[in-house]
Amino acid sequence: MTPPPDEREPGRPDHPGSPGSRVPADPDRWYREFASRVEGMCHAMDGGLWLHHHVWKGHPMAHLVSTDRGRLLAYGRVVGLPPERLQFKPLKDPRTGERRDAWHWDLVGPWLPVRGKGTRESGSGNREFGTGG
């Protein structure tokens, strides 16, 4: 029996950066940062990946948040995060006040993206990633 090809094998349609792949090769293009926390939360509630930088006990870190668990797991595979580190935490949708299932990665150390890396400013003052542009 032939084992399945490695998910990271170049040339597969679902491999980041392969021709025809909708998955960007550069992980920094998967997510968006927002100046407004509410805008970021709305993006995450719509299934986008929202990167939120902060400081915890004096150390820089970030959360990568979304209601789309599969998208977060795909990002984790590309950057080498073990899937068991993905955390479940229901969050309140700021538009409706309803709690929704959501997940996040704690990004620290080698997994912590540089703030604003590869960004471009949009009309609403946010930094865009993973938007195809």
pLDDT at position 103 is: 98
Distances, alpha carbon 50 to alpha carbons 10, 56, 128, 130, in Å? 27, 18, 10, 10
Distances, alpha carbon 19 to alpha carbons 3, 13, 25, 133, in Å? 23, 7, 11, 17
Query: 10 Å Cβ neighbour count for 56?
Result: 11
pLDDT digits (tens, 9 = 90+) for 73-98: 999 998 899 999 999 999 999 999 99
28 pLDDT tier (thresholds 50, 70, 90): low
Q: Are the C-beta atoms of 62 and 113 separated by less than 8 Å?
A: yes
Q: What is the DSSP letter of 76?
A: H
pTM: predicted TM-score of the whole model, two decimal places = 0.70
For the cut 90, the answer to whether the pLDDT of residue 101 exceeds it is yes
20 pLDDT tier (thresholds 50, 70, 90): very low
Which residue from 111, 60, 2, 35 is spatially nearest to 50, judged by alpha carbons? Answer: 35
Which one has a higher pLDDT value, 128 or 54? 54
pLDDT at position 13 is: 40
pLDDT at position 24 is: 54
* Residue 40 backbone dihedrals phi, psi, to 5 degrees: -65, -45
The arithmetic mean of pLDDT across residues 60-69, rounded, is 96
